[in-house]
Amino acid sequence: MADNFVLPLPDDFHAHLRRGPAMAAYAERHAASFGRALVMPNTKPPVASASEIAAYRREILAAAARASGGSFEPLMSFKLLGGMSRSAVLACAQAGAVAGKYYPAGATTGSEDGIVDPESAEEALDAMQEAGIVLCIHGESPEAPALDREARFLPVIEGMLGRHPRLRIVMEHISTVESLEFLRRAPRRVGATATAHHLLCTLEDLLGGELDPQLFCRPVLKARRHADALREAVLRGEPRLFFGSDSAPHPRSAKAARRAPAGIYTSPSAIPALAGFFEAEGRLGALESFVARTGAAFYGLAPPRGSLELIRGPWTVPEELDGAVPFLSGRSLGWRLGRIEV
Ligand code: DOR
Ligand code: ZN
């Protein structure tokens, strides 16, 4: 068995880098695994205007430059707010946003100011279609029971596809068989991201033994049959299904509180964990399209430049990094991150 493995530098099409003092560490950590990341806008304050996009990009670039010699590229998104005008959306596109993010209000962390009435986003969706930017959707209906929320939101996406015949849509962090089937039936302008945690973990890992708040996320982890369907899809190289980490760090103390926020800090360990999974299934070669080809092609971006080395050898994921508990902390993985060449 070879003792190293070189991937094109992975892309992450769904990342939370936060804002404020903690952001620099999260951005540096991200730059150790990824060349580009689509940065989510559910920060405090939210990224919902052209000027915020420019300011947030500058903040991230300054932080990441210290880590990787300037090779990390944040791909910017903005948050759709109810009643957002066409001109506001076009200004975000002009400022370089490649995507706008739709959060149903209350669906997840930092979505209190999301969309209450889907009708209130229609003008913005038209403008996104006009500008050629992607609509990224957190597809969960907050009023439905926790495990049914994703499936209950699918008719809303269906309606958007009908009303906006050229709009490109990404269903974020899909976690169910129903979403996978929807993706397969959908036109080619629909893609989806899958996270490492929804592939590698199930509801049993979250609450089958002692409750593990570090594995609490939205959408909530699902039963085995859902994870199995997603695993099989990515191993086979499912068209238009690509990696988005949804790395979502919360300070360790917040996760230990009585009401733990949703979100898993996956960026430190997602790529080594995925390499272990693909290799165990005899499909290590298919990891490249999942993390470094399919997403860029969907977004119309150039293939990644540069490479990431993975080094074989047991690596125990630390109990804490950057003030948060990383995904699979304490577990021994078969690969660890090596050098990035650009
Ligand atoms: O678990 C999650 N955490 N899911 C999301 O959609 C948002 C994220 C966060 O921002 O913490
Ligand atoms: Zn997210």
CA 255 to ligand 1 center in whole angstroms: 13
Strand residues in 105-223 grouped as ranges (E): 134-137, 169-171, 190-194
Write out pLDDT tens, residues 52-74: 999 999 999 998 887 756 689 99
Write out pLDDT tens, residues 224-261: 999 999 999 999 999 999 999 999 999 999 999 999 99
Which residues carry out catalysis? 246
CATH number of 4-341: 3.20.20.140
pLDDT at 64 (0 to 100): 87
User: Is 221 near ligand 1, meaning CB less than 6 Å away?
Assistant: no
Give yes or no for a contact between 35 and 72, defined as CB atoms under 8 angstroms apart: yes
Residue 161 vs residues 169, 236, 275: alpha-carbon distances, Å: 8, 26, 34
pLDDT at 68 (0 to 100): 59
User: Is 251 near ligand 1, meaning CB less than 6 Å away?
Assistant: no
Residue type, 98: V
User: Is 74 near ligand 1, meaning CB less than 6 Å away?
Assistant: no
CA 16 to ligand 1 center in whole angstroms: 8
CA 328 to ligand 1 center in whole angstroms: 17
Q: Identify the CA nearest to 294 among candidates 234, 241, 244.
A: 241
Which one of the ligands is nearest to 107 CA?
1
102 - beta bridge partners? 137
Give, using CA atoms, the residue closest to atom 8 of ligand 1.
Answer: 263
- Residues near ion ligand 2 (CB < 5 Å) are 246
The yes-or-no verdict on residue 156 having pLDDT over 70 is yes
Residue 112 vs residues 44, 81, 82: alpha-carbon distances, Å: 11, 10, 12
Return d(Cα 337, Cα 272) in angstroms, integer: 7
62: left (phi over 0), alpha (psi -120 to 50) or beta: alpha
pLDDT at 70 (0 to 100): 61
pLDDT at 235 (0 to 100): 98
